[in-house]
Structure 1
């Protein structure tokens, strides 16, 4: 039986969506044995550029760049409706004094949106998203761009909000969902695209029905262990666009390409 290589992030929304598939709560793909690997968002982006996996979660902006090699799937992605990445600093930091900003990777949607929205010039300092709060606290950087669950609890960490990219996006797109991450299928597997999309949708349906069975897996990978934080993260980024991107999601991806002002061609 052929191995089907899948790479996703350990963030709660990915674990929630793919957890039932990973745990065997749904049947595997026909004639394949699926093998899951977990990587940080920027590691996933780099792996996609190298075509190391058959199915892979990437930043939406990276997915748009790789359409000659991969197909963006209708299911499994992360679209924010109200929430998004947040630029924060220590309370006494003045915006005009911000010169260095910790970012979760130079290929992330969050970073490209920050470049489009933050008027002042700055030096990006790439690092693991989980290390950004510490870098801010230790004053290694002047500010940090928070993603995943840490963006939802910045006040609890004592940070001041400088820019909410979810709010900024909503104002600049007439309320379109914010495309943060998408699922890519390598084009050598286009013949099973519908089956893969259906499997992701089935896994998500089971996750809602058997949430308690995947909670231990969620806690294993979570950066923030509080139950309320995990639930807030899942609620923020697992929604109708995770089941199917729909026309609004497609429009949002086009808008992202335009707003980022980035050369999508390879």
Structure 2
């Protein structure tokens, strides 16, 4: 079975047991490590033809922002993804006096225009930036904080471990998208989804992933070497913070509140014209 997920600590922690043949019944995995922007594009390119079937993995980690475009071909799995509280993207500036309204005339760097982070940023800006956002530039996420620090851009939308390290760049948090979302909706924040081709046995795949999550929780040290091998020179303490934040109860099972959060986010984004509307029944396949 071909699977694609990021080299980030939360994903390698979750899928370690599956990738290493430690979950009974799991087929041998052919793993692609890829940035979520790449997996979003792969999922969108799959049309069921033989050529795209060869090119696109069977199971992928994608942004929830990309989900409405692929739900006819892929099913959302109820486990393995990233959804939680206190884990939202941050808007950072070098000048502590910058306020939200000023972003209407400033340049903001974002990691992708197809990400859940950018979707949340757009929804937040609709409430807090009169007249709309200024110039948006896309940079690899690891380049955003240096660009803000050095004045190449006025603000940056950051994700992943940047939440734990931005102060070392002398930066200031203008807004936390997770805090805003939770205060506005009372719901956890959806970030990354695990999807599988609808032609496959999604229930069995979900069982394998859930077993891999449970193994990771039971034997947290077992995956350490695998996690750090893919953590892009990340400090081990930061990698552990990353795992602790993004791997939580919703990783094991989305549950009612998880599905409610996903639909609330996608429905609000659709109302803003950011994504197509979806039928909520499409979300619960297993």
Counterparts of 1:156 and 1:208 in 2: how far apart (Å)?
A: 30
User: Deviations for 1:158-197, whole angstroms, at most 9, x for unmatched residues?
Assistant: 21001100100001112x11000100101121xx111100
Contact persistence 2:110–2:118 (CA under 8 A): yes
- Give 1:259 deviation, angstroms: 2.5
**Counterparts in 2 of 1:199 and 1:178: CA distance versus 1, 3 Å:** same
Contact persistence 1:149–1:224 (CA under 8 A): no
Matched, 1:40 2:35: yes
Matched, 1:137 2:149: yes
Counterparts of 1:263 and 1:207 in 2: how far apart (Å)?
A: 34
- Give 1:58 deviation, angstroms: 0.4
Which structure 1 residue ranges, 4+ long, deviate > 3 Å from structure 2?
none
Aligned to 2:253: 244
User: Could you state the TM-score of these two structures normalised by the residue count of structure 2?
Assistant: 0.85
Aligned to 1:209: 218
Aligned to 1:148: 160
Segments of structure 1 that go 5 or more residues without pairing to the other structure are none
Aligned to 1:254: 263
Aligned-partner SS, 1:56: strand
Aligned-partner SS, 1:211: coil
Segments of structure 2 that go 5 or more residues without pairing to the other structure are 47-55, 279-286
User: Deviations for 1:230-255, whole angstroms, at most 9, x for unmatched residues?
Assistant: 12111111111000110001110111
Matched, 1:7 2:14: no
Q: Please tell me the root mean square deviation across aligned C-alpha atoms, in Å.
A: 1.8
Counterparts of 1:185 and 1:27 in 2: how far apart (Å)?
A: 19
User: Deviations for 1:144-170, whole angstroms, at most 9, x for unmatched residues?
Assistant: 111111123222332100110010000
Contact persistence 1:57–1:182 (CA under 8 A): yes
